[in-house]
Structure 1
Amino acid sequence: MLSPEQRAKWRSRLFSVPTLFFLSAVITWPFLAEFEAFEVFYQFSRSHENWELDEIAMLGFNLLIALGLSVWYKSRRIKRLAEYRELERNRADVNARHDPLTGLMNRRAFYEVVENLSAEAQDASGPRYVALVDLDRFKPVNDVHGHAAGDATLIAAAERLREEAGAGGVVARLGGDEFVLVFGPAMDAASVERAARRILRSVEQPIPFNGQSILVGASIGLVQWDQDRGLAEMMRRADHALYQVKAGARGSFAWYDEDADRQSRDRAEIASDLKHAVENHDIVPFFQPIVRIDSSELVGFEVLARWTHPTRGNVPPFVFIEIAEDSGLIGPLGMALLRKACIHAAAWPEELSISFNISPIQFREGALVENVQKVLKETGFKPSRLTIEITESSVIDDFEIARKKIDAFKALGIQIALDDFGTGYSSLACLRSLPFDRLKIDRSFVTDISEQRQSQQIVSGILSLASGLELDVTAEGIETADDLTYLQGLHCSLGQGYFFEKPVPAEQISWLLETEWSDNHVMSQPDVRAAS
């Protein structure tokens, strides 16, 4: 036991100025670190070198208290920092998984949720259905009313879609004006269709914005969720169904069609292969003879595109030509085909011409005339031996532009024919406005004309019109001797068809010129050849 005098001595030392100073320094050490605290402590220790043992012990005791307080303070600070970081992490995760504008799940979160639903679907009692929704007429909203109006439209659409998802349903914004819904498990196909109709009506309702009414619509692609095919395939099918809607009647919905999808994928594969075929010059010209109907004299050939695919075999022209137009390949394909045709035809007798079809999309190309002129110059083929065939749809949009191109062709010495005459809506306007050299009567009016009274009247009228305008006429699709005889009676000038010859490759032209048309008349049994 310490005596009162000793206790007073320790108390005085415990609360002495040096001790309190040192305790304060330790406690405030973290705050003084940036203010040369070590130097302060060093000076303090130098000034108290004569301390006794009891004083040093008291200093250690105070140091332990100070260290404890410092540790407690640091731990609290670290804990608060960890809580703050966790809060920020959660906030970042929410922002990364949700669309900041509509509050819906974004694409990433949607895929995660659907993957979880897919894993749980083994215990589901029935199928689930997916709707891919795309807003119609949304782009003009931004262009006309501004992006604030566009944001208001997306927010309103998101709210309307939430109401139709059903219990257990999922709604997300995939990006832009595209949304997706996974309907609740209690909804069957009929319920989904009713919900789709409600969505269409709901989205069409005016959206108020700054005293104005914004009007948009929606197109919906529906698909049944097939667990065995995976999420990516499900979304691809929904997207295909939506594409079918937007390619036809917008503002409606359509279920995924497997047959249509198969055709679409087949078309996509052909488009990919066609690109390589054009680059490798695999599209080759075939030639079908054009003859004078009254004498069967050979006057030239129509150039027709043919493509033999390495695995598909012969791909019909109506298939790959349309794909070439849609994919932007028609220009390179057409010029490559014309170049090959001119190279072959340059070696034939000069009285033989070639007729070459220009598609409507190709006709609209700004450099068309220059490209054709370049091909003629490179191949040495005379422009006077070339006839360009164009359809009415090529010129109907703008007669003035069409006239300039036709005049440019004619200035080079190239003749112009109006193809498929009689199948359009404004053929007389074309003849009145544009300087054609020849008309081609569509095969639908020529084949079996001897038995088709309506076709007889149409062809007779076309021939009378052409005679008054001093235009040559080519009748395509002559299949039988009866067709030929009837056209001879109408004094049609030119004809082509299987009765004379089917389209043949360039390698067979020399044989035809040396045999069948060696004396400028057809062989003695054309009906036998036609049957082949």
Structure 2
Amino acid sequence: MSPEQTAIWRSRLLSAPSLFIASAIVTWPLIVEKNAFDAFYEFSRAYDTWGGDEVALLTLNLAVALGLSDYLKSRKLRRLREYRALERNRAKVNARHDPLTGLINRRAFYEVMDQIFSDPEGPDATRYVALIDLDRFKPVNDQHGHAAGDAALCASAERMREEAGAGGAVARLGGDEFVLVFGPAMDAASVERTARRILRSVAKPIPFEGRQLSVGASLGLVQWDAARGLTEMMRRADHALFQAKSNGRGQFAWYDADADRQTRDRAEIAADLKEAVAHQEIVPYFQPIVKIGNTELVGFEVLARWHHPTRGDVPPTIFIEIAEDSGLIGELGMSILRKACVQALDWPEILGMSFNVSPIQFVEQELVSQIKQVLDETGFDPRRLTIEITESSVIDDFSAAAQKIEALKALGIKIALDDFGTGYSSLACLRSLPFDRLKIDRSFVTDVSEQEQSQKIVNGILSLASGLNLEVTAEGIESIEDLTYLQKQSCSLGQGFFFEKPVPAEQISWLLETEWSDRVICTPPLKVAG
């Protein structure tokens, strides 16, 4: 090789690193995929004359860069696919599972039930389901915080899962409510044994930050009938759970079709009652109150009556209780009192009227003002009105009850203690509250002439009332023998079927114009007192 050639190759070799670096600079944007065209254009302008070696080296770098770029792209895409797959799986898990307890959620439970009964053997298989609600969970949250509540939920969920058995599944429906699908091999007896184990297990103390949390559980059990649909079967399980809680909590109850029918019937009556109260379809009936000594008429007790368009006469024991539970009793009571006052304006002024106020209605703050408003609007003399209340109305707060009674008496209204003898604190009531009259409960009056124990109770009440200078009304007089016995004991007043059943307002005038001789056997004819 000549000296000139040697010099040329030496210069090429010496320039190779710089050429490699330069070509790497122009090919690097291909790898990072950023401004590759601009970089290549600037590089080409800087090197106007390229030799074959330079072109070969640049081509090699380009090939390496493109290969590396493809590799990085494929790895990035693979990681992106893996990430998306992971996110899809996570979303799928979250969509089917409760994030706190790890149990399947409501949606997944529905899917499980669909899968069970879509199996060809599913519809004929007997399966049982338990709806579970934690007892005393709210106090744990309130007293120890939500972290303690979460700990109680997780511990309870794990205990249920452990007791579910082979083939069983536990789901959290929300809040502190769970549902358990028992395994296909379990019969009713096995289900009950498992239910008892769950009750014992959940009731065990739950350690939390050095403290012991205490919750319990109630279970509603139902034999699943897929033909009735998921909504109906869950409603039945919920009804069974309600029965378990009503029975005292910490226990299980099976779905009872008869009890369910009664509950649904009660719900229908409640809906109809709301309409009846709004349209004032419930009306007052009146039962005579007489002087026992000579059977003179002194007034009437107002009794609510409801004639349902399809059910007929609904007993007051049913619709009054429903009115109390549904918050309608105040509106219903004032409606009946207003109608009774209007109708009583046509009676002789000497006749009084007794009106019963329920315990729920008595504690209402507006009771006194509402009664006063009715009396003012109707013009009924408050001195002719007696308000009857029971011991349960006043037992919780004698002081508040005394204030309300005094406010009513200030209007001129008399106050009677109803159902006397059936409560557990009658003497305390008499000592603390200013009553005008006692009413002996009908359970002691009916057949009193034949019941020695009832006679002792009635005689004791009459003696007590005499010492306190109180009138006494005996309700439930149904025979001449009972009337005769009470006359001998000098009881003040009486009422009952022996004198007359409750009658509508339009019959009062007729009763006042007749002697009622066929209604009062072996006694003087009924007449208006005075």
Task: Answer whether TM exceeds 0.5 for this pair.
Answer: yes
Please show how residues 387-398 of structure 1 align to structure 2 within 5 Å.
Answer: 387-398=386-397
Q: Deviations over 1:414-458 (max 9, x none)?
A: 110000111111212211111100111111122222222222222
Whether 2:355 is the aligned partner of 1:356: answer yes
Aligned with residue 525 of structure 1, among 474, 497, 518: 518
Map 1:113-124 to 2 at 5 A.
113-120=112-119, 122-123=121-122
Q: CA deviation at 1:210?
A: 2.2
Output the CA distance in 1 between the equivalents of 2:342 and 2:308.
23
Q: 1:318 to 1:71 in 2, by over 3 A?
A: same
- Residue aligning to 1:80: 79
1:362-396: CA deviation from partner (whole Å, max 9, x where unpaired): 11112211221122222222211111100111111
Match of 2:375, as an amino acid? L
Are the equivalent residues in 2 in contact too, given 1:307–1:314 (CA < 8 A)? yes
Asked if structure 1 preserves the Cα contact closer than 8 Å seen for 2:100 and 2:150, the reply is yes
Compute the displacement of 1:222 (Å): 1.2
Q: How does 1:91-490 map to 2 (within 5 A)?
A: 91-120=90-119, 122-123=121-122, 126-490=125-489
How far 1:466 moved relative to its partner?
A: 1.3
The one-letter code matched in structure 2 to 1:316 is: P
Aligned ranges for residues 475-514 of structure 1 at < 5 Å? Answer: 475-513=474-512
Paired amino acid for 2:376: K
State how far apart, in whole Å, the 1-side matches of 2:95 and 2:342 are: 61
Task: Give the secondary structure class of the aligned counterpart of 1:333.
Answer: helix
Distance 1:121 1:222 in 2: 25
Q: Quote the offset at 1:123 in angstroms.
A: 4.6
Q: Deviations over 1:458-494 (max 9, x none)?
A: 2222222212211111111122222222222222221
C-alpha displacement of 1:91: 0.7
State how 1:50-69 maps to structure 2 within 5 Å. Answer: none
Deviation of 1:191 (Å): 0.9
Task: Give the whole-Å Cα distance in 2 for the aligned partners of 1:86 and 1:482.
Answer: 90
SS where residue 222 of structure 2 aligns?
strand
1:263-294 residue CA offsets vs partner (Å, 9 max, x unmatched): 11111111121122222212111111112222
Q: Is the 8 A contact 2:20 2:58 kept in 1?
A: no
Contact 1:290–1:301 (CA under 8 A) maintained in structure 2? yes
Q: Tell me the amino acid that sits aligned with residue 270 of structure 1.
A: I
Q: Is the contact between residue 26 and residue 39 of structure 2 (CA under 8 Å) also seen in structure 1?
A: no
Distance 1:512 1:310, change over 3 A: same
Residue 25 and residue 393 in structure 1: after superposition, are their counterparts in 2 closer, same or farther (change >3 A)? closer
CA deviation after TM superposition for structure 1 residue 258, in Å:
1.0
Post-superposition offset of 1:43: 6.5
For the residue of structure 2 that corresponds to 1:198, the secondary structure is helix
SS at match of 1:393: helix
TM-score under structure 2 length normalisation: 0.87
Task: Supply the distance in 1 between the matched residues of 2:459 and 2:155 (Cα, whole angstroms).
Answer: 62
3-state SS in 2 of match to 1:156 = helix
Distance 1:25 1:450 in 2: 115
Instruction: Tell me by how many angstroms 1:82 deviates.
Output: 3.2
- Report the CA distance between 1:315 and its aligned residue: 0.7
For 2:147 and 2:267, locate their aligned partners in 1 and report how far apart those are by CA, in whole Å: 38
Q: Which letter does structure 2 place at the counterpart of 1:525? A: D
Query: Aligned-pair distance for 1:74?
Result: 4.6
SS of 2:119's partner is helix
Whether the 8 Å contact between 1:387 and 1:417 is mirrored in structure 2 is yes
Separation in 2 of the partners of 1:271 and 1:156?
40
Rounded to whole Å, the distance in 2 between the matches of 1:230 and 1:478 is: 53
Q: For residues 496 and 122 of structure 1, what CA distance do their matches in structure 2 show?
A: 67
- Which residue pairs with 2:10 in the alignment? none
SS in 2 for 1:451: coil
Contact 1:480/1:527 (8 A) holds in 2: no
Letter of the structure 2 residue corresponding to residue 145 of structure 1: H
Change (3 A) 1:469 1:356: same
Distance in 1, matches of 2:289 and 2:209, equals 68
Q: Confirm or deny: 8 A CA contact 1:290 1:299 kept in the other structure.
A: yes
User: In structure 2, what residue type is equivalent to 1:499?
Assistant: F
Q: CA deviation at 1:72?
A: 6.5
Change (3 A) 1:60 1:242: same
- Distance, in Å, in 1 between the alignment partners of 2:471 and 2:221 is 54
C-alpha RMSD over aligned residues: 3.1
SS at match of 1:502: coil
Number of residue-to-residue matches in the alignment: 507
Q: Report the Cα offset of residue 66 of structure 1.
A: 7.8
CA offset at residue 257 of structure 1? 1.1
Question: Normalised by the size of structure 1, how large is the TM-score?
Answer: 0.86
- Partners in 1 of 2:69 and 2:509 — Cα distance? 105
- Give deviations 1:134-183, integer Å, cap 9, x for gaps: 22222222223332222222222112111111111111112222221111
Q: Which runs of 5+ in 2 are unaligned?
A: 1-18, 522-530
- In 1, the alpha carbon distance for the partners of 2:209 and 2:64 equals 66
Deviations 1:20-63 (A, max 9, x none): 776555555x3x25xxx776677678899999xxx99x999999
Shift of 1:320: 0.8
CA displacement at 1:356 relative to structure 2? 0.8
CA distance in 2, matches of 1:142, 1:20: 66
Q: What is the CA–CA distance in structure 1 between the aligned matches of 2:110 and 2:127, rounded to whole Å? A: 15
Aligned AA (1:524): S
8 A Cα contact 2:444 2:458, kept in partner: yes
Cα gap change, 1:155 to 1:18, in 2 (>3 Å): closer
Report the secondary structure of 1:99's partner residue: coil
Deviations 1:388-415 (A, max 9, x none): 1001111112211111111111111111
2:171 counterpart SS class? strand
Q: Structure 1: how far apart are the matches of 2:29 and 2:449?
A: 119
Query: Any conservation in 1 of the 2:123–2:226 contact (CA below 8 Å)?
Result: no
User: In structure 1, what is the Cα distance between the partners aligned to 2:179 and 2:337?
Assistant: 48
